[in-house]
Amino acid sequence: MKDCKNYNLLNHNTFGIEAYCQRFLEYADEQEAVEVASILRNASLPYIIIGGGSNLLLTRDFEGIVVHSACKGICREGNTLTCGSGEVFDDVVAESIRMGLYGAENLSLIPGDVGASAVQNIGAYGVEAKDLIRSIRAVEIATGNVCIIENAECEYGYRQSRFKQDWKNQFLIVSVEYVFSTDFQPHLDYGNIRAELERQGISEPTAEQLRQTIIDIRNAKLPDPKVLGNAGSFFMNPVVSRQQYEQLASQYPEMPHYYIDSEHEKIPAGWMIDQCGWKGKSLGRAGVHDKQALVLVNKGGATGAEIVTLCQTIQQDVKFKFGIDIHPEVNVI
């Protein structure tokens, strides 16, 4: 178990912001997770649990304990993979395809750890982690008990789960069990996947080709956090009522949208931010990426507070122009 005092979190957030925590605990297996849970129960300090830091914005030093998983391992049984919560999620996607297990291709190159996939219900191009998750093995901090939490108990929604709501900071995830299909059925009708495949002259892609296409699309839009600090998509795409959507569509007939159900439509936040003139613009050392308006970036030396100010300014502009509230997907500490 890793146990450090006055720990620099610079390498634990992809925004590249230097901030310190009073104590840093990292568990590498289930027994160590039980030990960490005991420390948290008996400590008088507040604590937070983080993943790979790709969905985290630090605005200050944290006067408490930061907990991180280093649980590794990918174990196959039939069409399921049980993966340590500290594994890189994209490595799981690559390994599943290599094994002839399908369903995660559209989630390729999403940054972050396996544990975070279960907390955030990560998603992209019409696929979400909840479509694959069967169960989560975790240690309950309050009791130290090892629990098996089934998918249905998590109450997954768009970028939501009970781990972000009433279960927040109550469990240390050890592993996640994903269920895949042995029959490759590609999901191509979301975003510009099919157009990009057609550009390559591919009509019936293999799983490997689809994964590479997703990677190419993401790389074309999203900056490398090692070069330009960012947390990927900063805002969630808002879901609006059918009535509000139709009112906006009459004003903006070119507005992209995605059908949710007979009463709701999803409108891309990035498109609205772009319409407000923010793509490629900056506010001090914080800016909006010039290729994807959904991505806020650290242009060099930005503080978390500067990025929050940019976020709030964008929210105000979108609200004024479209009457829609957009909310951060990123966890602000």
DSSP letter (8 states) at residue 157: B
Helix (H) or strand (E) holding 332: strand 331-332
Output phi, psi for 231, to 5 deg: -125, 30
- The whole-angstrom separation of Cα 130 and Cα 132 is 5
Per the annotation, the verdict on 194 as an active-site residue is no
The answer to whether 288 touches 269, Cβ cutoff 8 Å, is no
Q: Is 306 a catalytic residue?
A: no
233 a catalytic residue = yes
Which is catalytic among the residues 128, 211, 233, 306? 233
Catalytic residue, chosen from 76, 134, 159, 218, is: 159
Pick left, alpha or beta for residue 276 (phi over 0 → left; psi -120 to 50 → alpha; otherwise beta). alpha
Q: Is 50 exposed, middle or buried (0-12, 13-18, 19+ CB in 10 A)?
A: buried
- Closest to 89 in 3D by CA, of 122, 67, 66: 122
Query: Residue holding tokens 């999203």?
Result: 222
Catalytic sites, residue numbers: 159, 233, 329
